[in-house]
């Protein structure tokens, strides 16, 4: 079992914690991570792009000029794609890009990224992450004391308004609840901060 230090908000070590091998100690599967990430991004697409076909643009009920004798190319309608303000040929229409991925694959992808965070020493475990009042300065100091720099994802065991509000204005820092964990955020943010209760919750769900 991988063992990591448990810090307090002042950056001091208070204990150790053994992480479950089945969640934080597996061999990362890059292919599955890529597959699940592509699925996540596809499911975020709105698919609302739309162009008008020749049946939807205005005008063009009459043939612009006779078929022969004018010296010009034959034309049937000013709604044809080659005309200015004509319809678009084979243009995009509203559609859904969503598709499903096996639940086991999603779980494996999450565990793969969590395990890679441990291997790369990008995981910080804290005993508790609490602030008495909404104050950005408090969270900035806590991150500095824990020597966490760069893009950071904080995963809380449950909703905590003070922590959310105190960290939302810090550049490169995002706070989510464990129930909302997703592959995109795990990959986007380099550092991961987990309170002990979050670790236990993730081990319950993904073990």
Give me the pLDDT at residue 60, please.
Answer: 80
pLDDT in tens, 78-99: 999 999 999 999 999 999 999 9
| Cα separation, 1 vs 18, whole angstroms | 6
pTM here is 0.84
Name the burial class of residue 26, with classes exposed (0-12), middle (13-18) and buried (19+) by CB atoms within 10 angstroms of its CB. middle
- Identify which of 196, 149, 157 has the alpha carbon closest to the alpha carbon of residue 175: 157
The token duo for 94 is: 């509203």
Name the burial class of residue 68, with classes exposed (0-12), middle (13-18) and buried (19+) by CB atoms within 10 angstroms of its CB. exposed
């Amino acid at each position: 079992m991988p063992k990591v230090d448990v810090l307090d908000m002042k950056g001091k070590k208070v204990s150790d914690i053994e992480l479950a091998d089945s969640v934080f100690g597996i061999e990362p599967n890059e292919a599955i991570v890529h597959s699940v990430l592509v699925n996540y991004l596809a499911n975020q697409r709105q698919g609302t792009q739309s162009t008008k076909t020749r049946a939807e643009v205005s005008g063009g009920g009459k043939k612009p000029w006779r078929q022969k004798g004018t010296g010009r190319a034959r034309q049937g309608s000013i709604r044809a794609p080659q005309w200015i303000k004509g319809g678009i040929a084979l243009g995009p229409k509203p559609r859904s890009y969503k598709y499903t991925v096996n639940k086991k694959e999603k779980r494996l992808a999450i565990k793969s990224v969590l395990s890679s965070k441990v291997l790369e020493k990008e995981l910080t475990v804290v005993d508790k992450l609490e602030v008495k009042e909404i104050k950005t300065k408090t969270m900035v100091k806590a991150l500095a004391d824990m020597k966490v720099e760069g893009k950071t994802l904080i995963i809380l065991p449950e909703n905590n308004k003070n922590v959310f509000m105190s960290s939302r204005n810090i550049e490169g820092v995002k706070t989510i609840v464990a129930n909302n964990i997703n592959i995109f955020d795990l990959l986007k943010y380099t550092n991961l901060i987990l309170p002990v209760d979050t670790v236990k919750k993730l081990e319950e769900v993904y073990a």
